[in-house]
Amino acid sequence: MAGPPGASGHVPSASPLLQLLRGAEVFAPAPLGVCDVLLAAGKIAAIAPELPALPPELCRVHDLRGHRLIPGLLDAHVHLIGGGGEAGPSTRVPPVTLSQLARAGITTVVGVLGTDGTTRTVADLVARTLGLRDEGLSAWCYTGSYELPVPTLTGSVRRDLVFVDPIIGVGELALSDHRSSQPTLDELLRVAADVHVGGMMAGKAGIVHLHMGDGLRGLDLVRRALDVSELPPRVFHPTHVNRNRRLFVEAGELVARGCSVDVTAFPPEDDPGDSLYAADAIDRWIAQGLPVSRLTCSSDGAGCMPVFDAHGHICAMDVGRPTTLSDTLTELLARGQELATVLPIFTTNVADLLRLGHKGRLAAGADADLVALDDHGHIAGVIARGRWLIQGGQTVVCGPFERSAS
Q: Which residues are annotated as a binding site for Zn(2+)?
A: 77, 79, 211, 240, 300
Query: For 311, phi and psi rounded to 5 degrees?
Result: -100, 5
In angstroms, rounded to a whole number, what is the distance separating the alpha carbons of residues 29 and 34?
Answer: 13
Q: Which entry of 36, 300, 352, 367 is annotated as an active-site residue?
A: 300
Pairing of strands 106-111, 295-298: unpaired
- Report how far Cα 242 is from the mean position of its chain's Cα atoms: 16
194 DSSP 8-state letter: H
CB 157 within 8 A of CB 170: yes
DSSP letters for 313-333? -EEEEEE--THHHHHHHHHHH
Q: Coil, strand, or helix at residue 69? A: strand
Can 300 be counted among the known catalytic residues? yes
Q: CB 125: neighbour CB atoms within 10 A?
A: 27
Exposed e or buried b per residue across 341-378, where buried means at least 16 C-beta atoms within 10 angstroms of its C-beta? ebbbbbbbbbbbbbebeebbbbeeebbbbbbbbeeebe
The residues with which 109 forms a beta bridge, in sequence order, are 75, 139
Sequence-distant (≥ 6) Cβ neighbours of residue 194 within 8 angstroms: 156, 157, 158, 170
Is the distance from CB of 61 to CB of 390 less than 8 angstroms?
Answer: no
Question: What's the distance, CA 49 to chain centroid?
Answer: 30
How far from chain centre, in Å, is Cα 16?
28
CA distance 141 to 155: 16
How far, in Å, are 232, 316, 331, 353 from residue 207 at the CA level?
Answer: 10, 32, 29, 8
d(CA 109, CA 20): 26
β-partners of residue 395 are 390
The partner residues of 208 in beta bridges, in order of sequence, read 170, 236
Q: Which amino acid is at 127?
A: A
Q: In terms of DSSP bridges, do strands 31-40 and 18-27 run parallel, antiparallel, or are they unpaired?
A: antiparallel
**DSSP helix/strand/coil, 360:** coil
Positions marked catalytic: 300
